């Protein structure tokens, strides 16, 4: 939301701006190319991610036992995942005991249908919403709209995205790609259509923008009979749900309406309240760079005369049990949606969130989305490759998800899926390279060819243009010229053929040597 | 976070020290000056270097592009070639990282328990050059002389896969005549990333352009790193810009002496 300077032109989106869904988007490289050309977005993203990553580093640095906390968080989540069936049944039992109604949803359609039926049963045509990744994942807003129900997002950044007919581009800050002058333009243009119009003469001062949103939203809070939320955590031992947010809009939605519907991914369960303490430390420091979360709302079923009287919880699978079945891949289900990995990712910083074609962008999206959706589409096949494997994401992850390892694993699945089909150019090249490397004599012959190439290039020390596919390198980078003598040729010339021949023992105290 | 240089700091390897050189296929073919420098450096420090000529490629490119089946035979040949050495040294953080951190997964995939065992044995004995010098030999002053303004880029796999920390900088600080200047945002990826550099060339170049800008901002004559692949990427961009900055592998700076200057 931050960023300096004047908005230049409209933010480019690849499909009709009104659909605001990710379905049918092109693969990552082409989306990223478009995003790279959007200089305003590049500046907004670089500014915002660097600001929040600096804040995070500072507050994480304050906690001497941070590594122990991370370990504890990952172990708690792993324990929960290993006994998920038991904890879910315990959660259900305690929710029902506390007066909530529990619904189980296998997939997005089932969850959306349950939610629509519940809203219709209340006889209303609008709901207020607490920012929720689960409801975005199942595209609940679009499903409600199709059923004639308006769903009003009340989180400031979500409101900006919704009013802009845009897509979220970040887990925590969905409008991170927008700067304040773009937001002013959206408010001026769109607020009137959705309710209370933007005040006359609205400027791009952050306080004025926040005031405009507050006035616009207040009418919706006071009018709404039904609210829809997600949950950051669900405590099995008591059947309690927990939502963390920063603006207080969530608490309004969770307390004012008569009916509350919460869509909760089944991996959100924590066994006990004492487990929660770890995550209340890990999450705010990792996500917003704050020591403590501003608004933490917890509720247990329905309480007579206080808050929503009709409480529903939709427990959502939508691919999660199939992720759980993969012993290595399941660690992605530890994710607490803090977005620290997005904020440190050099690829995300430049390509932006839309390029990932999912509500889960950045490094976690690149491993979570293909696991949840499968790798049948070109887009989902491209996501595991949307990383330089630099490892910054793993370093900051509060629950120690080894994202680089999962990316490599998913790449392997993508390639395995292509085996036996029509041979690709890349596959053929890889196979012949593997054949060449299988024996050092073949490798040496290939080196001779490279050396020959360098002889033809004469005295040049770098190459400016190469034919396809190496042209992807030389479009913007010079390429080195192979030297005339390889290392192994030099070795044989200076150290003799019997390169491995000196098999004498290293002797006592030797730090290396032949075993 | 400098460890103090102790009174008993070495300047020579213990007598009889031997090591196998993993040159890496990329260095062997494209950057032979780097493994040559490793040989010169280690021999100067009293180490007997062996180069098993049967070596080819560690398989990292296959592994990281998803071609695990193509990588497994290379894992097999790696343990055959290097399994009999107590120590293996490589002038590459990423190839060392691939052996130490990725071979186990490949061996598991092969379903061959013998291979899993062999990998478990050899992988911990493979060292990136700065690890070998500082941790195994216990040497930070290698007797080098390099009178140039230098900045150092810690490559991602050295930094976050191997956790080499400040070992390369401790080695560089002992080099006589060097003017070592800090690289802004040094820990950020340069954008090479193996096949990422061509599969996502636009993002790769955007990342590299920022790295190149930071390098230019230091006013350094020479950019040093522990991986020639990253240097080829950054150097390729600097070269296209005619920035007048040379790239050099850490091994070549450490091997330089007054006689060779």
Asked whether the beta carbons of residue A437 and residue B25 sit closer than 8 angstroms, the reply is yes
Who contacts A33 (Cβ-Cβ below 8 Å, separation ≥6)? B202
| Cβ-based contacts of B16 with chain A (< 8 Å) | 506-510, 513
Cβ of A382: how many Cβ atoms within 10 Å? 25
The per-residue pLDDT for A343 is 97
**Cα B248 to Cα A314: distance, rounded to the nearest angstrom:** 58
The per-residue pLDDT for A11 is 37
Distance from CA of A36 to the nearest CA of B (A): 7
Q: What is the mean pLDDT of residues A138-159?
A: 97
Segment 137-156 of chain B within 8 Å of chain A by CB = 137, 156
**Cα A148 to Cα A130: distance, rounded to the nearest angstrom:** 19
Which of the pair, A501 or A423, is modelled with greater confidence? A423
Q: Which residue of A lies nearest to B52 if distances are taken between CA atoms?
A: A500
Distance from CA of A109 to the nearest CA of B (A): 33
Which string of b and e fits A102-133 if b means at least 16 CB within 10 Å? Answer: bbebeebebbbebbbebbeeeebebbbbbbbb
Taken in order A490, A493, A497, A498, the sign of the CA dihedral is: negative
| Cβ-based contacts of A445 with chain B (< 8 Å) | none
Facing B64 at nearest CB: one of A408, A431, A485: A408
Distance from CA of A47 to the nearest CA of B (A): 14
Task: Return the closest-CA partner of residue A101 out of A314, A265, A317.
Answer: A314
**Cα A93 to Cα A95: distance, rounded to the nearest angstrom:** 6
CB-based contact, A248 to chain B, within 8 Å: no
- CB-CB contact of B10 with B139 (8 Å): yes
Which of B198, B206, B243 has the highest number of chain A CBs within 10 A, making it the mutation to test binding with A?
Answer: B206
- Check pLDDT > 90 for residue A254: yes
- Check pLDDT > 60 for residue A90: yes
**Cα B39 to Cα B219: distance, rounded to the nearest angstrom:** 30
Q: What is the mean pLDDT of residues B113-138?
A: 98
**Cα A461 to Cα A499: distance, rounded to the nearest angstrom:** 30
**Cα A241 to Cα A95: distance, rounded to the nearest angstrom:** 9
Who contacts A157 (Cβ-Cβ below 8 Å, separation ≥6)? A1, A131, A168, A173, A174, A175, A176
Task: Return the closest-CA partner of residue A141 out of A170, A172, A167, A105.
Answer: A167
Which of the pair, A500 or A447, is modelled with greater confidence? A447
The pTM assigned to this predicted structure is 0.93
Q: How confident is the model at residue B8 (pLDDT cuts 50, 70, 90)?
A: low
**Cα A134 to Cα A262: distance, rounded to the nearest angstrom:** 10
| Cβ-based contacts of A388 with chain B (< 8 Å) | 156, 189, 191-194, 196, 204, 207
Distance from CA of B28 to the nearest CA of A (A): 5
Helices (H) and strands (E) in chain A, counts: 23, 12
Segment 482-501 of chain A within 8 Å of chain B by CB = 482-483, 485-488, 490-492, 495, 497, 499-500
The per-residue pLDDT for A15 is 37
Which H or E run contains B102?
none
- Check pLDDT > 60 for residue A1: no
- CB-CB contact of A114 with A143 (8 Å): no
- CB-CB contact of B157 with B228 (8 Å): no
Q: Which residue of B lies nearest to A37 if distances are taken between CA atoms?
A: B202
The secondary structure of B215-234 as a DSSP string is HHHHT-SEEEES-HHHHHHH
Distance from CA of A53 to the nearest CA of B (A): 12
Mean pLDDT of chain A: 91
Summarised one tens digit per residue, pLDDT across range B24-72 is 999 999 999 999 999 999 999 999 999 999 999 999 999 999 999 999 9
Q: How confident is the model at residue A260 (pLDDT cuts 50, 70, 90)?
A: very high
Q: How confident is the model at residue A468 (pLDDT cuts 50, 70, 90)?
A: confident
Segment 12-71 of chain A within 8 Å of chain B by CB = 28-29, 32-33, 36
Summarised one tens digit per residue, pLDDT across range A39-84 is 999 999 999 999 999 999 999 999 999 999 999 999 999 999 999 9
CB-based contact, A6 to chain B, within 8 Å: no
Who contacts A76 (Cβ-Cβ below 8 Å, separation ≥6)? A270, A271, A275, A278, A279
Q: What is the mean pLDDT of residues A170-187?
A: 93
Q: How confident is the model at residue B5 (pLDDT cuts 50, 70, 90)?
A: very low
Calculate Rg over the CA atoms of chain A. Answer: 27
Segment 90-119 of chain A within 8 Å of chain B by CB = none
Distance from CA of A52 to the nearest CA of B (A): 15
| Cβ-based contacts of A509 with chain B (< 8 Å) | 14-16
Task: Give bridge partners of residue A102 from the DSSP assignment.
Answer: A313
Q: What is the 3-state secondary structure of A432-480?
A: HHHHHHCCHHHHHHHHHHHHHHHHHCCCCCEECCCCCCCHHHHCCCCEE
How many cross-chain Cβ pairs, A to B, lie less than 8 Å apart? Answer: 255
Q: Which residue of A lies nearest to B47 if distances are taken between CA atoms?
A: A512
Distance from CA of A73 to the nearest CA of B (A): 21
CB-based contact, B124 to chain A, within 8 Å: no
In what order do the strands lie in the sheet containing B48-50? B48-50, B18-21, B88-90, B126-128
Give the phi and the psi of residue A469 in degrees, each rounded to 5.
-90, -5
Q: What is the 3-state secondary structure of A206-217?
A: HHHHHHHHHHHH
CB-based contact, B35 to chain A, within 8 Å: yes
């Amino acid at each position: 939301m931050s960023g300096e300077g004047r908005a230049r032109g409209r933010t480019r989106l690849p499909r009709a701006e009104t659909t605001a869904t990710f379905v049918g988007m092109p693969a990552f490289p082409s989306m990223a190319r478009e995003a790279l050309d959007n200089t305003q977005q590049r500046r907004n993203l670089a500014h915002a991610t660097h600001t929040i990553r600096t804040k995070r580093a500072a507050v994480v640095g304050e906690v001497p036992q941070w590594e122990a906390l991370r370990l504890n968080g990952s172990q708690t989540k792993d324990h929960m995942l290993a006994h998920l069936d038991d904890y879910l049944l315990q959660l259900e039992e305690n929710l029902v005991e506390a007066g909530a109604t529990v619904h189980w949803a296998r997939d997005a359609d089932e969850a959306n249908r349950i939610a629509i039926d519940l809203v219709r049963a209340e006889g209303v045509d609008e709901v207020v919403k607490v920012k929720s990744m689960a409801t975005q994942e199942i595209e609940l807003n679009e499903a409600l709209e199709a059923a004639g129900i308006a769903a009003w997002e009340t989180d400031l950044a979500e409101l900006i995205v919704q009013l802009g007919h845009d897509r979220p581009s970040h887990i925590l800050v969905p409008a991170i790609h927008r700067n304040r002058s773009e937001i002013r333009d959206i408010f001026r243009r769109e607020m009137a259509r959705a309710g209370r119009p933007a005040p006359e003469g609205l400027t791009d001062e952050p306080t004025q923008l926040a005031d405009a949103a507050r006035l616009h939203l207040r009418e919706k809070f006071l009018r709404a009979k039904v609210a829809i939320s997600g949950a950051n955590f669900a405590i099995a031992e008591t059947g309690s749900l927990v939502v963390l947010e920063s603006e207080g809009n969530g608490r309004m939605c969770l307390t004012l309406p008569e009916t509350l519907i919460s869509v909760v991914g089944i991996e959100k369960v924590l066994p006990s309240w004492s487990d929660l303490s770890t995550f209340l430390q890990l999450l705010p420091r990792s996500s917003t760079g704050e020591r403590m979360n501003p608004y933490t709302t917890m509720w247990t079923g329905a309480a007579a005369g206080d808050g929503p009287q009709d409480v529903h919880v939709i427990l959502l699978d939508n691919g999660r049990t199939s992720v759980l079945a993969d012993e290595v891949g399941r660690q992605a289900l530890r994710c607490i949606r803090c977005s620290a990995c997005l904020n440190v990712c050099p690829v995300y910083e430049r390509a932006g969130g839309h390029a990932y074609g999912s509500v889960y962008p950045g490094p976690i999206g690149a491993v979570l989305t293909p696991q949840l959706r499968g790798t049948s589409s070109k887009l989902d096949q491209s996501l595991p490759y949307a990383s330089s494997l630099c490892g910054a994401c793993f370093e900051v992850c509060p629950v120690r998800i080894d994202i680089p390892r999962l990316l490599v694993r998913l790449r392997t699945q993508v390639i395995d899926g292509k085996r036996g089909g029509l041979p690709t150019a890349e596959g053929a090249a890889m196979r012949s390279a593997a054949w060449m490397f299988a024996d050092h004599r073949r490798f040496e012959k290939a080196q001779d060819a490279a050396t020959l190439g360098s002889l033809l290039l004469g005295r040049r020390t770098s190459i400016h243009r190469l034919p396809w596919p190496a042209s992807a390198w030389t479009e913007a980078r010079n390429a080195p010229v192979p030297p005339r003598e390889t290392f192994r040729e030099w070795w044989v010339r200076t150290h003799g053929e019997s390169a491995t021949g000196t098999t004498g023992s290293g002797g006592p105290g030797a730090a290396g040597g032949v075993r | 976070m400098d460890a103090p240089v102790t009174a008993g700091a070495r300047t020579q390897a213990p007598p009889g020290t031997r090591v196998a050189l993993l040159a890496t296929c990329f260095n062997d073919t494209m950057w032979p000056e780097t493994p040559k420098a490793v040989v010169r450096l280690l021999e100067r420090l009293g180490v007997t270097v062996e180069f098993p000529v049967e070596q080819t490629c560690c398989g990292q490119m296959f592994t990281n592009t998803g071609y695990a089946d193509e990588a497994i035979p290379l894992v097999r040949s790696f343990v055959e070639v290097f399994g009999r050495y107590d120590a293996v040294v490589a002038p590459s953080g990423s190839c060392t990282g691939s052996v130490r951190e990725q071979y186990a997964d490949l061996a598991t995939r092969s379903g061959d328990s013998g291979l899993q065992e062999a990998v478990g044995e050899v992988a911990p004995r493979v060292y990136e050059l700065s690890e070998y010098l500082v941790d195994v030999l216990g040497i930070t002053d290698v007797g080098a002389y390099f009178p140039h303004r230098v900045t150092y880029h810690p490559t991602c796999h050295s930094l976050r896969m191997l956790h080499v920390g400040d070992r390369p900088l401790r080695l560089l600080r002992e080099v006589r005549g060097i003017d070592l200047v800090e690289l802004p945002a040094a820990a950020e990826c340069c954008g090479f990333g193996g096949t990422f550099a061509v599969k996502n060339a636009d993002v790769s170049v955007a990342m590299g352009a920022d790295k190149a800008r930071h390098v230019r901002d230091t006013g350094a004559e020479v950019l040093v790193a522990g991986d020639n692949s990253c240097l080829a990427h950054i150097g390729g961009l600097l070269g296209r810009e005619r920035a007048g900055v040379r790239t050099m592998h850490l091994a070549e700076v450490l091997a330089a002496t007054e006689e060779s200057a």
